[in-house]
Amino acid sequence: MTEALGTRDRIVHTTSKLMQRQGYEATGIKQIAREASATLGSVYHFFPGGKQELAVAAIRHADAEFAEMLTAILAKHPDPGEAVYQAAAETGVYLRETDWAEGCPVTATALETAGRVPEIQRACVETFANWERIIFEKLNSCGFAEELARELAGTVLSSLSGAEVSAQVNRDVQPLETAGRHMQRLINSYR
């Protein structure tokens, strides 16, 4: 049973990384099986719904992985503005470490499947909502009123998401550092 769980987890993790690097459309079941050291039969055993079902599992995996990292970064810094700045800075470090290949784990897939694959779109929407919730909880726990914390969380996530894409395309952390600094100022202006 442990071996079966190990195989499933390998398949999901591999799919998540491939979709992060090359998107949903360019990621094929055969490539997933090969890179996960799994058979095609194993992939279809765990994911009888095929590529779409596997993509949803991979998005949920990416959500949990990034949510854990984001929560840890925000928890490390008591000041919410500094916490958001550090989240941007650490995202830049990660991008550089992956040679700019591993940006947001769901952006490419969300854009490729928008309006065409409802299950995947729903998983992407839930993922972004989860990350926004984490930022909201940090802001709210630091004394920001609910409505303001919710609005700021959405603004922060949108700004950092765009900055991450720009950093990845330009192969430069500057967009993330700039966005992080401005989000820090914005948050501090409400204190």
Full domain range(s) for residue 165 = 51-189
Say what the pLDDT of residue 185 is: 98
Per-residue pLDDT, 4: 47
CA atoms within 13 A on the CB side of 97: 6
Instruction: Give me the tens of pLDDT residue by residue for the chain, a chain 191 residues long.
Output: 445 459 999 999 999 999 999 999 999 999 999 999 999 999 999 999 999 999 999 999 999 999 999 999 999 999 999 999 999 999 999 999 999 999 998 999 999 999 999 999 999 999 999 999 999 999 999 999 999 999 999 999 999 999 999 999 999 999 999 999 999 999 999 98
Check residue 78 and give its pLDDT. Answer: 97
Asked if residue 152 belongs to a domain, the reply is yes
The CATH number given to whatever domain includes residue 55 is 1.10.357.10
User: How many structural domains is the chain composed of?
Assistant: 1
**Torsion from C-alpha of 136, 141, 144, 146, nearest 10 degrees:** 60
pLDDT for res 42: 97
Radius of gyration of the chain (CA): 18
Is 169 among the domain residues? yes
Write a three-state SS string for 29-40: HHHHHHHCCCCH
Write down the pLDDT at residue 2: 40
